[in-house]
């Protein structure tokens, strides 16, 4: 393996010594490279998450020896302990290093000369004595002492938390909580849950057990209830839960399904609601419980949508007809009746939804609206939830489209949390906002978008409500439609098709619960029947590597995207990616590679970016440069530079360099899940039909996969699975109150 670093030892070892110098330190995450003078007086390089250390500290590090190809032998630190230096020389070196603000080399010398081995005690407990030294005022002495105490507190906290918190996480906690950090954890470790990235209820539970806190404390009960709402419910798309369901889930989590504890959970919910630690939304059907931040998102969304509808300036009916006629003349297109109605409704209201399947003319309507708004001198912006969806929107309309995150000018906070610069105090400037692929928007993103929309703007949602809902919690587009509060136009007449094409007609057949036409020969929709999952996987590989290139030429391989229902199973993404990597891009002495997690990334591999990264720089062969690679972007690894520990990926028209620490943002993409394909379009889509989890054998999942193809669809697998998917109109019900909230707000 051509890895940048090879482990030379697997057992934990210990290294002790005095820190001689800090070579490099990342203040954000605590990653440090330092030179340690060991017991024999020899310099040793140590690397790892080692925050809050300084020259002169006595360090005891635990980890293993490694050999770096460039830097040679070094000690990789997993955890550490440290002590302040005890003798005068080391104390002087520590203070002279600049570790304590206000003390430089000359001042350090004066302090150590006057107080010797007691220097630290004087700084911490008798700072007024420092004022006896020329150049140190009483005010400066107090500031020096305060800074020294803060450093001592950080050291104490790192020691306290080393057994149950990663160093980088501990550093983030101390940065925010300061010297109160230890007391906070001792009193209530559950207060960390949901507040700090990387600490959820389960880690907090481990900390509490380590500290010997009672298993049935009220803090634990309340944290468990919030965990069920914010994590377990949200993971399944719910924004709230019926109170009985919440109680059952919380009892299972906290008390191993002891039914006698249900009453205690209900009592806790009631008291938490009174304290506004959660919210209860009551309907004729019962009470539904919300986590505060999700309740805030849905209730705000309802209010803001209705406000936009009320405040939008109106256009005269006669003018609307004339504007549409003028658009037809300009574009030389005769709009169908429903297309004409869609444009009319978009001009009339402040909020409008346009939904429909492939080929029903949604893009034509967007183009018509752009021309009309331009004639009215209305500024317009286009956006979509993903990078690939926004790119498709740009190409289809010849008008710049952004991701919603880019539109909102998202940045990362010091705690690596997203924040949006566009909000109520700095709203989006455009008067008309058109959002495509709106079915992918979750509750939290919708709230962020609406907070940035100024009153009086028009907001037009475009999407296919029959596709899969958002990955995040909520069912926003469907709820907006179901509320009945806004104009909704559903297109069902197919325009984009020809006599030979069956992709669009079969997509609509699937959506209506009818089997696709697979019996007659065609040119763009095929079904290859196989009778086992293993045979399905083998056939998929044969088609990609041999049969399709033989028929259509080698260039077809770059156009194929395998879209499968699940990550698991013989024909899931995990197994198919291994098979296809071995078949298409096997190991070679001429190809460098790097193993990260369970993946081996090799030059020539097809990979996908799995999260939005707005800070990743890209460049093109033409010399252009910029920032931003998005969740769902697919590219090919051009090179793996083992010396500089960089992986270069070519995303169609731009190249990005990933250092090895960023490889967690990449996955192989020879095969991807249907959920990951949302908002994208590929020339050739191949769909394995195999016996995965029953909930994934559904109509809307198959429909979503088929509608990703622009030129060809190939189904491979069991006819019975295909039949099951077409007939299974299962939609995982998402518990949300947004439709009710909108309806109630509109009525008021």
The pLDDT tens digits for 382-441 are 999 987 888 889 999 999 999 898 899 987 666 556 789 999 999 999 999 999 999 999
pLDDT at residue 437 in the model: 93
Q: How confident is the model at residue 223 (pLDDT cuts 50, 70, 90)?
A: very high
User: Is the model's pLDDT at 11 over the cut of 60?
Assistant: no
For residues 698-728, b (16+ Cβ closer than 10 Å) or e, as one string? bbbbbbbbbbbbbebbbbbbbeebbebbbeb
CA dihedral 708, 711, 713, 714 (to 10 degrees): -140
Q: How confident is the model at residue 748 (pLDDT cuts 50, 70, 90)?
A: confident
pLDDT at residue 452 in the model: 97
Contact 706, 687 (CB under 8 A): yes
H-helix or E-strand containing 105? helix 105-115
pLDDT at residue 714 in the model: 96
Of the ranges 55-69, 136-150, 372-386, the best mean pLDDT one: 372-386
* Alpha-carbon gap, residue 429 to 174, rounded angstroms: 39
User: Is the model's pLDDT at 727 over the cut of 50?
Assistant: yes
Does residue 598 sit in helix, strand or coil?
A: coil
User: Is the model's pLDDT at 52 over the cut of 80?
Assistant: no
User: Tokens 């080393």 correspond to what residue?
Assistant: 162
* Alpha-carbon gap, residue 522 to 198, rounded angstroms: 52
* Alpha-carbon gap, residue 735 to 641, rounded angstroms: 48
- Tally of residues, the chain: 748
Segment 270-298 shows an average pLDDT of 95
pLDDT at residue 413 in the model: 66
User: Is the model's pLDDT at 8 over the cut of 70?
Assistant: no
User: Tokens 């790097």 correspond to what residue?
Assistant: 594
Q: How confident is the model at residue 40 (pLDDT cuts 50, 70, 90)?
A: confident
Strand pairing report for 418-420 and 410-412: antiparallel
Angle between helices 387-397 and 362-375 (to 10 degrees): 70
Number of other residues whose CB lies within 10 A of the CB of residue 20:
16
The pLDDT tens digits for 567-622 are 999 999 999 999 999 999 999 888 889 988 888 999 999 999 988 776 788 888 77
* Alpha-carbon gap, residue 237 to 231, rounded angstroms: 10
The pLDDT tens digits for 578-589 are 999 999 999 988
User: Is the model's pLDDT at 12 over the cut of 90?
Assistant: no
* Alpha-carbon gap, residue 503 to 252, rounded angstroms: 46
Q: Which residues is 281 bridged to in the sheet?
A: 288
User: Is the model's pLDDT at 129 over the cut of 90?
Assistant: yes
Indicate the DSSP class of residue 546.
Answer: I
Closest CA relative to residue 372, chosen from 337, 419, 335, 409:
335
- Residue 553, phi then psi, degrees to nearest 5: 100, 160
- Residue 208, phi then psi, degrees to nearest 5: -60, -40
Q: How confident is the model at residue 520 (pLDDT cuts 50, 70, 90)?
A: low
User: Tokens 């763009």 correspond to what residue?
Assistant: 524
Segment 101-110 shows an average pLDDT of 89
What percent of the chain is modeled with pLDDT above 70?
A: 96
What percent of the chain is modeled with pLDDT above 90?
A: 53
Closest CA relative to residue 543, chosen from 373, 697, 685, 698:
685
pLDDT at residue 4 in the model: 40
Tokens of residue 428, six digits: 């989006």
Instruction: Please give the full DSSP string across 669-682, using - where no structure is assigned.
Output: -SEEEHHHHTT--E
The pLDDT tens digits for 698-713 are 999 999 999 999 899 9
User: Is the model's pLDDT at 669 over the cut of 70?
Assistant: yes
Task: Return the minimum-mean-pLDDT range out of 410-414, 583-587, 726-730, 736-740.
Answer: 410-414
* Alpha-carbon gap, residue 226 to 277, rounded angstroms: 9
Strand pairing report for 43-49 and 72-83: parallel
Number of other residues whose CB lies within 10 A of the CB of residue 119:
23
* Alpha-carbon gap, residue 176 to 197, rounded angstroms: 13
User: Is the model's pLDDT at 193 over the cut of 80?
Assistant: yes
Instruction: Please give the full DSSP string across 180-231, using - where no structure is assigned.
Output: GHHHHHHH-GGGGTTTSTT--HHHHHHHHHHTT--TT-HHHHHHHHHHIIII
pLDDT at residue 415 in the model: 59
Contact 510, 702 (CB under 8 A): yes
pLDDT at residue 414 in the model: 61
* Alpha-carbon gap, residue 63 to 44, rounded angstroms: 14
Alpha helix positions (H), 573-718: 573-584, 674-677, 699-706
Segment 478-486 shows an average pLDDT of 96
User: Is the model's pLDDT at 41 over the cut of 50?
Assistant: yes
User: Tokens 């007691």 correspond to what residue?
Assistant: 118
User: Is the model's pLDDT at 640 over the cut of 60?
Assistant: yes
Could you tell me which residues come within 8 angstroms of residue 676 by beta carbon, excluding any fewer than 6 positions away? Answer: 608, 632
Q: How far is CA 738 from CA 238, 447, 485, in A?
A: 11, 12, 12
Does residue 603 sit in helix, strand or coil?
A: coil
Q: How far is CA 709 from CA 175, 315, 360, 559, 632, in A?
A: 49, 39, 15, 10, 16
Region class of 248: left (phi > 0), else alpha (psi between -120 and 50), else beta: alpha
* Alpha-carbon gap, residue 666 to 140, rounded angstroms: 50
pLDDT at residue 34 in the model: 92
The better pLDDT of the pair 708, 5 is held by 708
User: Is the model's pLDDT at 1 over the cut of 60?
Assistant: no
Segment 457-481 shows an average pLDDT of 92
User: Is the model's pLDDT at 328 over the cut of 80?
Assistant: yes
Q: How confident is the model at residue 497 (pLDDT cuts 50, 70, 90)?
A: low
pLDDT at residue 500 in the model: 57
User: Is the model's pLDDT at 148 over the cut of 60?
Assistant: yes
Q: How confident is the model at residue 3 (pLDDT cuts 50, 70, 90)?
A: very low
Strands (E), 471-532: 487-491, 525-529
Q: How far is CA 24 from CA 27, 48, 50, 76, 215, in A?
A: 10, 11, 11, 14, 43
pLDDT at residue 5 in the model: 38
* Alpha-carbon gap, residue 271 to 741, rounded angstroms: 24
Contact 626, 639 (CB under 8 A): no
Segment 170-190 shows an average pLDDT of 86
Mean residue pLDDT across the chain: 88
Q: How confident is the model at residue 258 (pLDDT cuts 50, 70, 90)?
A: confident
């Amino acid at each position: 393996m051509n890895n940048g670093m090879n482990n030379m030892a697997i057992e934990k070892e210990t290294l002790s010594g005095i820190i001689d110098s800090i070579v490099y330190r990342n203040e954000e995450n605590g990653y440090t490279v330092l030179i340690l003078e060991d017991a024999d007086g020899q310099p040793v390089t140590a690397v790892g998450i080692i925050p809050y250390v300084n020259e002169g500290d006595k360090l005891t590090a635990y980890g293993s020896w490694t050999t770096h190809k460039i830097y040679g032998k070094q000690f990789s630190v997993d955890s550490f302990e440290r002590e302040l230096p005890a003798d005068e020389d080391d104390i002087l070196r520590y203070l002279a290093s600049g570790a304590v603000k206000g003390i430089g080399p000359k001042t350090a010398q004066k302090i150590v000369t006057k107080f010797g081995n007691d220097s630290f005690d004087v700084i911490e407990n008798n700072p007024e004595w420092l004022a006896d030294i020329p150049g140190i005022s009483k005010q400066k002495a107090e500031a020096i002492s305060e800074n020294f105490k803060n450093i001592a507190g950080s050291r104490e906290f790192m020691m306290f938390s080393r057994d149950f918190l990663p160093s980088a996480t501990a550093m983030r906690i101390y940065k925010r909580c300061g010297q109160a950090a230890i007391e906070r954890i001792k009193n209530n470790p559950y207060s960390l849950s949901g507040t700090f990235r990387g600490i959820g209820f389960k880690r907090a539970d481990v900390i509490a057990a380590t500290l010997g806190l009672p298993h049935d404390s009220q803090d634990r009960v309340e944290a468990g209830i919030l965990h069920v709402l914010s994590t377990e419910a949200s993971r399944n798309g719910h924004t709230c839960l019926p109170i009985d369901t919440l109680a059952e889930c919380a009892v299972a989590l906290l008390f191993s399904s002891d039914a006698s504890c249900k009453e205690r959970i209900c009592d806790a919910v009631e008291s938490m609601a009174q304290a506004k630690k959660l919210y209860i939304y009551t309907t004729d059907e019962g009470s539904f419980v919300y986590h505060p931040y999700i309740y805030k998102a849905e209730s705000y969304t309802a209010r803001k949508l209705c406000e936009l509808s009320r405040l939008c300036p109106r256009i005269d009916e006669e003018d609307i007809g004339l504007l549409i006629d003028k658009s037809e003349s300009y574009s030389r297109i005769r709009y169908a009746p429903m297309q004409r109605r869609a444009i009319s409704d978009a001009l009339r209201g402040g909020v409008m939804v346009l939904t429909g399947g492939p080929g029903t003319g949604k893009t034509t309507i967007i183009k018509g609206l752009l021309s009309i708004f331009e004639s009215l001198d209305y500024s317009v912006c286009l956006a979509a939830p993903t990078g690939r969806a926004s790119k498709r929107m740009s190409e289809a309309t010849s008008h710049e489209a952004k991701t919603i995150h880019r539109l909102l000018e998202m940045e990362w906070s010091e705690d690596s949390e997203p924040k949006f610069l566009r909000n109520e105090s700095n709203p989006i400037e455009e008067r008309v906002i058109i959002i495509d692929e709106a079915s992918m928007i979750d509750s939290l993103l919708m709230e962020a978008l609406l907070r940035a929309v100024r009153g009086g703007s028009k907001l037009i949602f475009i999407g296919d409500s029959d596709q899969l809902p958002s990955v995040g919690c909520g069912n926003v587009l469907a709820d907006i439609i179901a509320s009945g509060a806004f104009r909704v136009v559903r297109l069902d007449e197919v325009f984009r098709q020809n006599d030979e094409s069956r992709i669009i007609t079969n997509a609509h057949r699937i959506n209506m619960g009818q089997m696709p036409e697979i019996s007659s020969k065609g040119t763009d929709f095929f079904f290859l029947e196989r009778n086992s999952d293993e045979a399905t996987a083998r056939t998929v590989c044969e088609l990609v590597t041999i049969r399709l290139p033989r028929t259509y030429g080698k260039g077809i391989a770059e156009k194929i995207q395998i879209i499968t229902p699940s990550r698991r199973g013989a024909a899931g993404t995990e197994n198919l990616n291994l098979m296809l990597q071995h078949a298409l891009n096997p190991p070679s002495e001429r190809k460098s590679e790097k193993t990260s997690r369970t993946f081996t990334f090799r030059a020539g591999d097809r990979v996908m970016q799995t999260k939005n990264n707005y800070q990743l720089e890209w460049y093109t062969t033409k010399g252009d440069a910029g920032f931003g690679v998005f969740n769902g972007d697919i590219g090919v690894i051009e090179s793996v530079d083992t010396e500089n520990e960089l992986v270069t990926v070519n995303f169609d028209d731009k190249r990005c360099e990933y250092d090895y620490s960023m490889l967690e943002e990449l996955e192989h993409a020879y095969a991807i899940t249907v959920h990951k394909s949302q908002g994208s379009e590929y020339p050739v889509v191949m769909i394995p039909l195999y016996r995965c989890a029953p909930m994934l054998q559904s109509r809307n999942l198959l429909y979503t996969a088929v509608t990703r193809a622009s030129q060809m669809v190939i189904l491979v697998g069991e006819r019975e699975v295909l039949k099951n998917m077409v007939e299974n109109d299962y939609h995982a019900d998402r518990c949300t109150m947004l439709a009710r909230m909108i309806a109630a707000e509109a009525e008021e």
